Amino acid sequence: MEYTGAEIVLNCLKEQGVNTIFGYPGGAVIPLYDALFNYHQDFLHVLTCHEQGAVHAADGYARSTGKAGVCFATSGPGATNTVTGIATAYMDSVPLVVFTGQVPQSLLGRDSFQEIDITAVTFPITKYNYLVKSIEDLPSIIREAFRTAMSGRKGPVLIDIPKNIFTAKGEYITISMFTEGKKTAPVDDNLLWEAVKAIDVSKKPVIYAGGGVIHAGAEPELWELAKKASIPVANTLMSLGCFPMNHPLSLGLVGMHGHKETNLAVTESDLIIAVGARFSDRVIGTKDKFAPGARIIHIDIDGSEIGKNKEVDFPLEGNVKDTLKALADKVCEKDRSRWLSSIRSLAPKVKQQPDAFSPANILALAQRIVGTDSIIVTEVGQHQMWAAQYCRVDSPRRFLTSGGLGTMGYGLGASIGAQIANPDKKVLHIAGDGSFRMNCNELATVSKYRLPIITLLFNNGSLGMVRQWQDLFQEKRYSQTDLTDDVDYMKLASAYRLNGAKAENLAQLREALFKAISSEKATIVECMIDKETGVYPIVPPGMPIDNMLTGR
């Protein structure tokens, strides 16, 4: 049948099982939005306040569900506003399909009104992108875009569509579901057996789990391997939740702000099993001193990651889920209680003061009240690292954070996407005051769609993480990191018709959170924190990860 280009886009989205779109209209996409008007029963279109918010929302939708997030934006400024969101998704391998409008083909290359070469801009931050040149190509491009976003190592794809193609007519034939992407070859059997032998003889193995475990849905296989061979699991920021943290084999966060015993265990280990992880500088500190005595097994679907940042002994390129399953089947059952108890003995004896209004106590109380099954979404800074250190995350897709790009302003948009995708779950948005100011315009979206997001705003009156670096590494020269007291966040909340509560101690926090939950309304709970409170441990940048500053 003949359809307009705009209708073809929407039909292709239906075909892919898409029912939610995050976006913002404008001149070049007027025909697309006009068609959407007729398809309103097929899609929930979430209108954000800014295209960056729309992309972060699509990202939060994708991370919390495992489906591709979909986004619409207009040409020119609409398209450039998506860039930070796309880059954020790219760095963390999040599948998105972003549609941008473009000026009509007759006006391309003339510096026309709102013409930006967005495919050129996004070459380095997309897995692939397209400028559609003819309506005949449109269905196949959209199908390929979803396949590309969702297959292998996932990532964002952008499709730039000139306005005249939205209005042109073309043939479209429905196909049922999208075809599977390229199948990855299974790992070579000999290599696999060598890795199995290495695991069997290892006395001090550690699994270093990355976000790839969650992207592959390989948590059950990881669990099998870890349990059967008694191997402790260290998490990157991206993999929190891939292994239940209440289990004795869970070591939690590793790297720059990793737990002391976790970093020491990795350093002392004789075998690192890296799974869907990429040896980022924030994890390994310095390449040569990361696990210096260990042999390294690296399991990853993306061959270009293997050996990129660190040489490995057993490169296992392939599907993480299948490879973990094969390893779990083949390794010997082992008791490694001596290794496990020696790790445990490395843990510092912390005496938390039970009444202190400290990040650890605030987060523990918030999780107790909001529930450990809630979806935690963070901004970027100290509060993010506290959340990574202190929150208990027992299942995957429950901890959404910008790891690779470290995008301040990610959290509110991502919370919106996560809440829309998971209306029956609580969303706990953990924000810093600096990050919150970046995209708090999206509170209007929270209000419009009546999303009961709870924002835990860590107000330390500063760009705390940068300030902490200035404190430790710049002789306390606090250049441009004090935010002073110029925003009344409670009034801001009420301006958006949301609730707000301020807490200066645990009792006030408890009351505020109970009220927030029972009100079923979005609430900003502002926690007043001392700006001198630091994130510890911290490994100075470029140092080995056993070189930790543990506090002042």
Partner 1 sequence: MEKLLVAKVSNEIDVLMRVSGIIRRKGFSMKSIHMEQATENQANLKIMLSYQDKSVDQLMNQIKKYNDVYEVSIV
Give residue 151's Cα distance to chain centre: 18
Q: How far apart are CA 330 and CA 275, in angstroms?
A: 17
> Of these, 118, 326, 408, 539, which contacts ligand TPP (CB under 6 A)?
408
Q: Which residue is nearest to Mg ion (CB)?
A: 432
> Of these, 4, 445, 460, 470, which contacts ligand TPP (CB under 6 A)?
460
DSSP structural state of residue 184: P
- 407 scored as a contact of ligand TPP (CB under 6 A): yes
- 417 scored as a contact of ligand TPP (CB under 6 A): no
How many residues appear in the chain? 552
Instruction: Determine the 3-state secondary structure of 96 from DSSP.
Output: strand
From 72-80, 155-163, 365-373, 381-389, give the range in contact with ligand TPP by CB under 6 A. 381-389
Cβ contact 483:462 at 8 Å: yes
Q: How far apart are CA 53 and CA 85, in angstroms?
A: 8
Nearer to ligand TPP, 351 or 476 (CB): 476
From 71-79, 215-223, 452-460, 534-542, give the range in contact with Mg ion by CB under 5 A. 452-460
Cβ contact 454:428 at 8 Å: yes
Nearer to partner 1, 287 or 450 (CB): 287
> Of these, 156, 403, 432, 537, which contacts ligand TPP (CB under 6 A)?
432
* Distance in Å, CB of 436 to ligand TPP, minimum: 7
Identify the active-site residue in 7, 51, 221, 442: 51
Which among 45, 56, 22, 44 has a CA at the least distance from the CA of 412? 56
- 383 scored as a contact of ligand TPP (CB under 6 A): yes
* Distance in Å, CB of 303 to partner 1, minimum: 5
* Distance in Å, CB of 126 to ligand TPP, minimum: 19
DSSP structural state of residue 176: S
Identify the active-site residue in 114, 382, 384, 389: 114
479 by Cβ neighbours in 10 Å (0-12 / 13-18 / 19+) ranks as exposed
* Distance in Å, CB of 536 to Mg ion, minimum: 17
Identify the active-site residue in 465, 468, 470, 531: 465
> Of these, 380, 428, 524, 539, which contacts ligand TPP (CB under 6 A)?
380
Identify the active-site residue in 113, 123, 473, 514: 113
- Active-site residue, 114 included: yes
Q: How many residues bind ligand TPP (CB under 6 A)?
A: 20
Say if strands 523-528 and 499-503 run parallel, antiparallel, or are unpaired: parallel
Query: Residue 303 touches which of Mg ion, partner 1, ligand TPP, none (CB < 5 to 8 A by kind)?
Result: partner 1
Nearer to ligand TPP, 74 or 384 (CB): 384
Task: Give Cα separations from 229 to 277, 342, 519 (angstroms).
Answer: 20, 17, 47
Identify the active-site residue in 163, 204, 426, 521: 163
- 460 scored as a contact of Mg ion (CB under 5 A): yes
- Active-site residue, 113 included: yes
DSSP structural state of residue 513: H
330 by Cβ neighbours in 10 Å (0-12 / 13-18 / 19+) ranks as middle
137 by Cβ neighbours in 10 Å (0-12 / 13-18 / 19+) ranks as middle
* Distance in Å, CB of 237 to partner 1, minimum: 24
Where along the sequence are the contacts to partner 1 (CB under 8 A)? 119-120, 123-124, 128, 131, 144, 148, 152, 302-304, 306-308
Query: Residue 466 touches which of Mg ion, partner 1, ligand TPP, none (CB < 5 to 8 A by kind)?
Result: ligand TPP
Instruction: Determine the 3-state secondary structure of 285 from DSSP.
Output: coil
From 10-18, 99-107, 360-368, 460-468, give the range in contact with Mg ion by CB under 5 A. 460-468
Q: How far apart are CA 397 and CA 393, in angstroms?
A: 9
Give residue 221's Cα distance to chain centre: 22
* Distance in Å, CB of 455 to ligand TPP, minimum: 12
CA torsion, ordered 58, 436, 430, 447, to nearest 10 deg: -60
Nearer to partner 1, 87 or 254 (CB): 87
User: DSSP readout, 107-173?
Assistant: GTTTT-TT---HHHHHGGGSSEEEE---GGGHHHHHHHHHHHHHSSS--EEEEEEEHHHHHSEEE--
Q: Phi, psi (5° rounding) for residue 341?
A: -75, -30
- 458 scored as a contact of ligand TPP (CB under 6 A): yes
- 243 scored as a contact of ligand TPP (CB under 6 A): no
- Active-site residue, 511 included: no
- 439 scored as a contact of ligand TPP (CB under 6 A): no
- Active-site residue, 177 included: no
Residues with Cβ within 8 Å of residue 479, at least 6 apart in sequence:
470
Nearer to ligand TPP, 303 or 406 (CB): 406
Nearer to ligand TPP, 16 or 80 (CB): 80
Q: How far apart are CA 550 and CA 475, in angstroms?
A: 18
> Of these, 64, 129, 319, 462, which contacts ligand TPP (CB under 6 A)?
462
- Active-site residue, 314 included: no
* Distance in Å, CB of 459 to ligand TPP, minimum: 8
Say if strands 295-300 and 271-275 run parallel, antiparallel, or are unpaired: parallel
Query: What would you report as the CA-atom Rg of the chain, rounded to the nearest whole angstrom?
Result: 24
Residues near Mg ion (CB under 5 A): 432-434, 460, 464
Residues near ligand TPP (CB under 6 A): 379-383, 406-409, 432-435, 458, 460, 462-466
Catalytic positions = 51, 113-114, 163, 465
